[in-house]
């Protein structure tokens, strides 16, 4: 996890512009470099480093003797870099996983490069010999990337939007700062003036397609067919492989543990594999919640079962409320459910950074979208519509859960690893018949749970624990975190302000005092940037006015039982 920043064709003094690069310093607390491009005095790279792999030679932009005309700034981890090196006979100059991007590009161009990378990444690749700039981002947008391109060809690129919004330019920066789309690469021509012109934007991978890099995966061909036993075995093999490949790190590994199915599976498999490869320190797991909240109690049970060194962070209501503004500033969104769920994750990340030496943090993001874990999937009109909704959610992850997970951890200099979003695991799961993937017997994620039922990785009551939204699970059963927030916000927003909300904020107008409060804070820091969020996250197929699972009938009836 790092912070990347680059400018091409700047009219302003670069020493002034580079102040914007410091807005993302939290992403790389270990080192910083600012470097001009030879022959292009108005082009430069900025890089904030969190040293996780090759601590000696990992500074960027990466340049190697073999390709003096290539400059690479990337944020991410390429899990198959050693397999690619072996398959193609690449001669590496460093131990940095990202160096493989230079070799792949030299061998087969940008399309093959982006398609063959098994990992999470956002990168800027400059080829001065051919006068090209390339931008690319992984399938689910696990690593963030934003860009701004003016009409006269000034390009700014950054890991977070906050590093671009204050850039200076002769025509003033009225052009839109926008997220770079996941699963895409862009080709731009670099002019002698240092300005650029976009040539094409290409989608190189879709979540349903088996990735090209399967040819150099450590797990070879799996048995085919949809016999239930074969499917369950394949799910276990691919998930374990997804966790195994993410063990690549020279810094201590930890794991977020809410006590729900997803984070518990990740923690259990992670600890099992760490023992197998003789990692000589205990796995630290981290839970946050109010005193005796459902998440804390369940996480305690899981930690005892798997034998992790468990840490509990007690969420203080006042502390949570005080964190709202800094959380919204970090997130760069005003989405209601994203902000609610981010507060706990932000505070637990703060604890990890201050009180422990864990830096590489595993988490369970992506499972709800992939395995149909949200409560409202019980109301899907058909298996086919449920499957379509699952794919829609995966495509929009970069706006919601993946955004939350990246920003809340990166704000405290931690690196996130999300095995449920492994390319091969997700493409396999999505290839299964729609009927197999729907909730069954009133239980969501039924197939995933069934696949691990005989593994003894988790206690049965955790494996079959009903879905609990993170923002709800950290509070007590009696009063959820979202209702505590609403009680506080009720006092902060006047009724009249809410009545006139649509006039003040015509795009995505706030409908509740809570959403109005968040929007005010967002506009304070990112005025006029509301289009970053195309729509609020809300459940489908139900008449919901609030995104919390606790407001849905299915949840209420389960709680009453």
Closest Cα partner for 264 from 279, 278, 245, 285?
A: 285
Q: Is 2 a catalytic residue?
A: yes
* d(C-alpha 516, C-alpha 522), whole Å: 10
The continuous run of DSSP H or E covering 447 comes out as: helix 446-451
Check 2, 73, 158, 207 and give the catalytic one.
Answer: 2
Nearest 5°: phi and psi at 362?
-85, 150
Residue 363 marked in a binding site: yes
Q: What angle do CA 481, 486, 492 make, to 5 degrees?
A: 135
Nearest alpha-carbon partner for 188 in 201, 171, 172, 174:
201
Are the beta carbons of 136 and 115 closer than 8 angstroms? no
CA-CA distance, 310 to 305, in Å (whole number)? 11
Please check whether residue 69 is in contact with residue 79, taking contact to mean a CB–CB distance below 8 angstroms: no
Helix (H) / strand (E) containing 102? helix 99-116
Cα 62 to Cα 80: distance, rounded to the nearest angstrom? 18
Instruction: Find out whether 288 is annotated in a ligand binding site.
Output: yes
DSSP string, 32-66: EEEEEETTEEEEEEEEEE---S-TTT--SSEEETT
Residues in Cβ contact with 504 at an 8 Å cutoff, skipping those fewer than 6 apart:
none
| CA-based nearest residue to 511, from 345, 375, 334 | 334
Sheet order of strands, 146-149 included: 31-37, 40-49, 3-8, 155-158, 146-149, 177-179
β-partners of residue 314 are 289
HEC string for 337-391? HHHHHHHHHHHHHHHHHHHCCEEEEECCCCHHHHCCCCHHHHHCCCHHHHHHHHH
Q: Is 153 annotated as a binding residue?
A: no
Residue 231 sits at the vertex; the CA angle it makes with 446 and 549, to the nearest 5 degrees, is 20
As annotated, the binding site for L-glutamine includes 97
As annotated, the binding site includes 97, 256, 288, 363-364
The residues assigned a catalytic role are 2
As annotated, the binding site for ATP includes 256, 288, 363-364
């Amino acid at each position: 996890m790092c912070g990347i920043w680059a400018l091409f064709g700047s009219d302003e003094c670069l020493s002034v512009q580079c102040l914007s690069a410091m807005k993302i310093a939290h992403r790389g607390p270990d080192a910083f470099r600012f470097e001009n491009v030879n022959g292009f005095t108005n082009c430069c790279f900025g890089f904030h480093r969190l040293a996780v792999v090759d601590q000696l030679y990992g500074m960027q932009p990466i340049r190697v003797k073999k390709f003096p005309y290539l400059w690479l700034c990337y944020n991410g981890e390429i899990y198959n870099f050693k397999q690619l090196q072996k398959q193609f006979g690449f001669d590496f100059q460093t131990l940095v996983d990202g160096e493989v991007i230079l070799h792949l590009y030299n061998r087969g161009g940008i399309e093959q490069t982006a398609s063959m990378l098994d990992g999470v990444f956002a990168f800027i690749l400059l080829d001065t010999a051919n006068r090209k700039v390339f931008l690319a981002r992984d399938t689910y947008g696990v690593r963030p990337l934003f860009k701004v391109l003016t009409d006269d060809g000034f390009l700014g690129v950054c890991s977070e939007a906050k590093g671009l919004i204050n850039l200076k330019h002769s025509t003033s920066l009225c052009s839109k700062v926008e997220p770079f789309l996941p699963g895409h690469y862009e080709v731009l021509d670099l002019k002698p003036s240092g300005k650029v012109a976009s040539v094409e934007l290409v989608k190189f991978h879709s979540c349903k397609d088996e990735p090209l890099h399967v040819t150099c995966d450590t797990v070879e061909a799996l048995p085919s067919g949809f016999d239930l036993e074969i499917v369950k075995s394949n799910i276990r093999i691919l998930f374990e492989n997804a966790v195994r490949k993410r063990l690549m790190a020279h810094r201590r590994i930890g794991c977020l543990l809410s006590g729900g199915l997803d984070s518990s599976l990740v923690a259990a498999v992670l600890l099992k594999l760490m023992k197998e490869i003789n990692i000589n320190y205990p796995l630290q797991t981290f839970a946050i919640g109010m005193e005796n909240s459902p998440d804390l109690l369940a996480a305690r049970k899981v930690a005892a079962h798997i034998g992790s060194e468990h840490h509990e962070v007690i969420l203080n209501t006042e502390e949570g409320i005080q964190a709202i503004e800094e959380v919204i500033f970090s997130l760069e969104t005003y989405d209601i459910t994203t902000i609610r769920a981010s507060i706990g994750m932000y505070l637990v990340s703060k604890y990890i950074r201050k009180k422990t030496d864990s830096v590489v943090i595993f988490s369970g993001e992506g499972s709800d979208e992939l395995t149909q874990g949200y409560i409202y999937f019980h109301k899907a009109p058909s298996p086919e519509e449920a499957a379509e909704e699952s794919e829609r959610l995966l495509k929009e992850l970069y706006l919601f859960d993946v955004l939350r997970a990246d920003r809340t951890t990166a704000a405290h200099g931690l690196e996130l690893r999300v095995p449920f979003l492994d390319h091969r695991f997700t493409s396999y799961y999505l290839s299964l018949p729609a009927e197999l993937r729907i909730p069954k017997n009133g239980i969501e994620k039924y197939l995933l749970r069934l696949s691990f039922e005989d593994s003894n990785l988790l206690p049965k009551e955790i494996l079959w624990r009903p879905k609990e939204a993170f923002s709800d699970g950290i509070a007590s059963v009696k009063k959820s975190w979202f209702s505590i927030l609403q009680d506080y916000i009720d006092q902060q927003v006047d009724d009249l302000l809410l009545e006139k909300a649509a006039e003040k904020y015509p795009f995505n107008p706030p409908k509740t005092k809570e959403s109005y409060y968040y929007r005010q804070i967002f506009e304070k820091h990112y005025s006029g940037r509301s289009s970053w969020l195309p729509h609020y996250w809300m459940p489908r197929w139900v008449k919901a006015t609030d995104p919390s699972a606790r407001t849905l009938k299915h949840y209420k009836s389960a709680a009453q039982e």
